Amino acid sequence: MIFTSNRVGQIDEAFRSRIHLCLFFPKLDNASFMRIWAKAIARVKRSHPELDMDDEGIRDFAKLLWLENEKHPSRHWNGRQIKNAFQTAIALANFEFQEAEEGNKSKRPMLKAAHFKRIGEASAHFDDYIGNLYGLEDQDAYAVLAAREEIRKDVVPLTTFMNSKQPQIRTRGMLSRKSTLQDYSNGSDSDIERTGSEDESDLDDGQSGENTEEEDGDKQEMLKLKKRLAKLEKKQGKERRKEKNW
C-alpha cells in the first residue's frame, strides 16, 4: 500500500514508525514539468485519434504557464493538475465542435492552446482570490499558509540523501538561496535567520544581480511565447474562415 501526502507536518512519530519506507518527492522543476506535458500530449494522441491537436501551441502555453508562476511556485501545476487540464481541454474542444454552426464547422474537434488558456485563467482567478483572502497578494500564498500551519515547507534539496552530509536547502520563490529555513510564518524576510560572513553577503549581492538578469530573460521569453500564441490563434482563425468560405 502506498500513501502520499502534502501535509507531512501532521505525521507524528507513532505513525511514522509504521511506515516501511518514507520518500521525499520535491516539487517539479521546469524540465520535469515539460516532460509531463510531452507525455500527456503523446497519450492524448494515442487515446483520442478523433482529435486534431496544435502540439506547438500547447507546448508554448506550458512554457508560458511555468514562467508566469515563477514568483508563485506553489501555483505550478503538478502531474494531477496537468492530467485534469487535458481532460477539461478535450471536453472544451468537443463542446466547441458540437456547438459550431454548420457552415463554420471543421472536420474534427481541435485541441489547442486557447482551451488550456481558459483553464489557466480560471485556476489563476481562484488562486488570486485565496491570496486576497489572506492578505498575501504579492506572496506565494499556498507556501506561506502551509508553513504558517506547520504542514510543510516548500523547499527543494540541492543534494541527494546518498551523498549529503549536511542537507542544503534551496527555497522555492520566497527566500534567498543562502537563507537558513527557520519559522517564516508570515512569509517575510524578517523571519529568516541569515547565516554567514560579510563575504557571503557580497556573494548574495552578486546572486541578486544574476537573478535580475534571469528575470529579464524570463520576461523576454514570456513576451516571445505570448506573441507566438497570438500568431497561432490568428492563423487558426484564418484557416477556419477559409474552410467556411470553401
Across the chain, the runs of DSSP E, i.e. the strands, are 52-53, 110-111, 155-157, 169-171, 179-180, 193-194
Residue 58 placed within a domain: yes
Domain presence at residue 49 = yes
Residue 246 within any structural domain of the chain: no
CB 37 within 8 A of CB 58: yes
CB 176 within 8 A of CB 141: no
All 3 cell numbers of residue 117? 488558456
pLDDT for 193 equals 37
Q: Report CA torsion sign: 163, 147, 132, 84.
A: positive
pLDDT on residue 222? 75
Secondary-structure percent of the chain, ordered helix, strand, coil, rounded to 5: 60, 5, 35
Question: How do residues 12-37 score in pLDDT, each as one tens digit?
Answer: 889 889 999 988 888 889 999 999 99
Buried b (16+ CB within 10 A) or exposed e, 91-127: ebbeebbeeeeeeeeeeebbbbbbbbbebbeebeeeb
- Each residue's pLDDT tens digit, 35-86: 999 999 999 999 999 999 999 999 999 999 999 888 888 889 999 999 999 9
Q: Is the pLDDT of residue 198 over 60?
A: no
Q: What is the pLDDT of residues 112-163, one digit of tens each?
A: 999 999 999 999 999 999 999 999 888 888 888 888 888 888 764 444 434 4
Residues 6+ apart with CB under 8 A from 181: 153, 155, 169, 171, 175, 192
Is the pLDDT score of 95 beyond 60? yes
Closest CA to 169 of 24, 35, 33: 24
pLDDT digits 0-9 by tens, 216-225: 777 777 777 7
C-alpha grid cell for residue 59?
A: 507546448
Split at pLDDT 50, 70, 90, the class of 7 is confident
Q: What is the pLDDT of residue 195?
A: 38
1 domain-assigned: no
Q: What is the pLDDT of residue 111?
A: 95
> Looking at residue 151, what DSSP letter applies?
S
Per the CB < 8 A criterion, the answer to whether 114 and 61 are in contact is no
Number of domains in the chain: 1
Residue 177: C-alpha distances to residues 66, 155, 170, 201 (Å): 20, 11, 5, 11
Residue 212 lies in a domain: yes
Domain of 104 in residue numbering reads as 8-241
